[in-house]
Amino acid sequence: MTSALSPSVATLTADPHPSLARIRDAGPIGRVESIGGWMVVGHALAVQVMRDAVTFTVDDPRFTTGRVVGPSMLSTDGPEHARHRQPFLAPFTPRSSRAYFEDFVARESTRLLSLTAPTGSAEFRTALAAPLATACMQSALGLERIPVAELLGWYGDIVQAVADITAGAALPASGPAAYASLGAAVQSTIAEGKGFLREIACAAGDLSMAELLSNTAVLLFGGIETTEGMVSNLLLHLLSDADVMQSVRADPAQLDAVIEESLRLEPAAAVIDRYATADVSLGGVHMRRGDLVVVSLAGANRDPAVFADPDRFDPHRPNLGRQLSFAQGPHVCLGLHLARLQARRAALDVLALPGVALDVDRTTPPSGLVFRKPSAVWATWSV
């Protein structure tokens, strides 16, 4: 049985925010038995943990993504982390993201919406957010020859495997099978010298092929899952607020703040895992070496000590730059510039649909233990 201060996995999956607030009222960190570890919900403490990879590491055999794809930039720290991550940095700088992707994102977003525009109705998660994120990663990784449905199938199986492990279930066979199929496709792409993988492979130094594959899988995994969630959450928040929609139409520059506030209110990646490397006191509690420390980005982003009236959607907050949805420290999201680029273009194209409005009856709220997004964002418009 769980208590109010130790919510169940089902509660954290459906709507974690009331439970996270109760934990935070008792302190910036609390024990959550349903996940078998400590949960950090305070903003300052979350930043401290994410920046201190010596005391709070991802390099542990229990780390969920590592159990599916093997060692990568996501599951290593220190010099080993730098060795994995460094070859992948250059293609995802702000300048490279704009140069390589800006026109592509514009064309693809326009194309996807043109498929549904004549109907006057669409579910934007599956019609826009997911295929746009997938197309970008296909282009970056040179995987255009893989049918979208097949690629999404692999990705879905890998995501589900990570989610199952996080929830305490056994690793499903579908996860490693999907990773093996993806690995074969990526290895072929590297051999052919396509996409960013050509540049990355040349800069990879002593990374083995297996390590290149695991890092590419992490990149694909993050590039689709979290961007799809980010765009879906943004469209839900934007279409739910007529005043914000009107303001952005009048001044598109305001959309940047809307994107940041959407990220704050509902991060696509709600939690990240760390493991204590020694006995340590943190936020008034004593934890032992090896303890699981889950940083709740969702909880930290609603810390009232940083964000006033934290449950309210308010793009006019003066400190939106302090939201933590892309993490901080050595594991800050590699594709954050590309994700923002996609979110901005998708939102502007949706707002251009005449009379576009949220179909409340068919739209669902965000859900998910690790990755949070609405399963459906329906909208209608004039044709």
Position 3 in a domain: no
Task: Identify the CATH number of the domain in which residue 54 sits.
Answer: 1.10.630.10
User: What tens digit of pLDDT does each residue of 130-171 get?
Assistant: 999 999 988 888 888 888 888 888 888 887 887 788 777 888
**Which of 347, 358, 352 minimizes the C-alpha distance to 241?**
358
- Residue 251, pLDDT above cutoff 50: yes
| Percent of the chain's residues with pLDDT above 90 | 70
User: What tens digit of pLDDT does each residue of 22-56 get?
Assistant: 999 999 999 999 999 999 999 999 999 999 999 99
Containing structural domain, residue 306? 9-380
Give residue 1's pLDDT. Answer: 34
Cβ–Cβ under 8 Å, residues 292 and 38:
yes
Bridge partners, 121 (sequence order): 380
Position 172 in a domain: yes
Give residue 194's pLDDT. Answer: 67
User: What tens digit of pLDDT does each residue of 81-110 get?
Assistant: 999 999 888 888 999 899 999 999 999 999
Bridge partners, 139 (sequence order): none
User: What tens digit of pLDDT does each residue of 296-313 get?
Assistant: 999 999 999 999 999 999
| Percent of the chain's residues with pLDDT above 70 | 98
How many CB atoms neighbour CB 194 within 10 A? 16
Position 321 in a domain: yes
Q: How many domains does the chain have?
A: 1
Show the beta-strand stretches assigned E in 120-259: 121-123
User: What tens digit of pLDDT does each residue of 171-196 get?
Assistant: 889 988 988 898 888 888 877 876 67
Position 38 in a domain: yes
Position 202 in a domain: yes
- Cβ burial of 1 (10 Å; 0-12, 13-18, 19+) is exposed
Give residue 149's pLDDT. Answer: 82
Q: How far apart are CA 16 and CA 372, in angstroms?
A: 10
Q: Give the dihedral of Cα atoms 121, 126, 131, 132; nearest 10 deg.
A: 60
Position 190 in a domain: yes
How many CB atoms neighbour CB 382 within 10 A? 9
- Report which secondary-structure segment, H or E, holds 14: helix 9-14
Give residue 170's pLDDT. Answer: 86
Position 4 in a domain: no
238 — pLDDT class (breaks 50, 70, 90): very high
Give residue 4's pLDDT. Answer: 52
Q: How far apart are CA 293 and CA 301, in angstroms?
A: 17
Mean residue pLDDT across the chain: 92
- Residue 3, pLDDT above cutoff 70: no
How many CB atoms neighbour CB 230 within 10 A? 28
Structure pTM?
A: 0.93
User: What tens digit of pLDDT does each residue of 314-340 get?
Assistant: 999 999 999 999 999 999 999 999 999
Cβ–Cβ under 8 Å, residues 263 and 372:
no
- Report which secondary-structure segment, H or E, holds 339: helix 336-351
